[in-house]
Amino acid sequence: MASTEERLRTLVAENLEVDGQPVNVPADLNVSLTDAGVPSMDFVAFAKVIVREFDVPLTPDECADFSTLKDLAAYIDSQAA
């Protein structure tokens, strides 16, 4: 089964765009969605995707507050533990 980080990378690629281009995050996920240029409207949409896919509580603000996507993956794993 794919790891949380791999699933998260796939969800980002499938759901987020900047200027019509997919958001290509680095393999180690050491980047925030803010630094990836994701606008607030997409935070609302993406937080809903995360809640649906991983069944964890997550608001758009919380989604934006993670310093890196790696931290978001760790949060998801901690909720599942």
Partner 1 sequence: MFHVDLAPHATHEARALEWLSPEERVRSGRFLHAGSRRRFTLCRAALRAVLCHRLACNGQQLTFGTSSYGKPFAQVDEVPNPISFNVSHSGSHGLIAVAPHGRLGVDIEERISRDDLGHLSDAVLGPSEKREFALLRGNRRTHFFFRMWTLKEALIKALGVGFSQDPAKFEVPLAVRRGAKTGTLRFPSLPRTDWRVDDLGTKDFAAAVAIEASPRRSLMPSE
Contacts with partner 1, residue ranges (CB under 8 A): 18-19, 21, 23-25, 31, 35-37, 39-41, 43-45, 48, 59-61, 64
Cβ nearer to partner 1, comparing 16 with 76: 16
- CB-side exposure of 41: number of CA atoms within 13 Å? 2
Tokens 């997919």, residue located: 22
Between CA 54 and CA 37 the distance in angstroms is 23
Q: Least distance (Å) from partner 1 to the CB of residue 57? A: 14
Cβ nearer to partner 1, comparing 23 with 73: 23
Q: Least distance (Å) from partner 1 to the CB of residue 61? A: 4
Cβ pair 60, 44 in contact under 8 A: yes
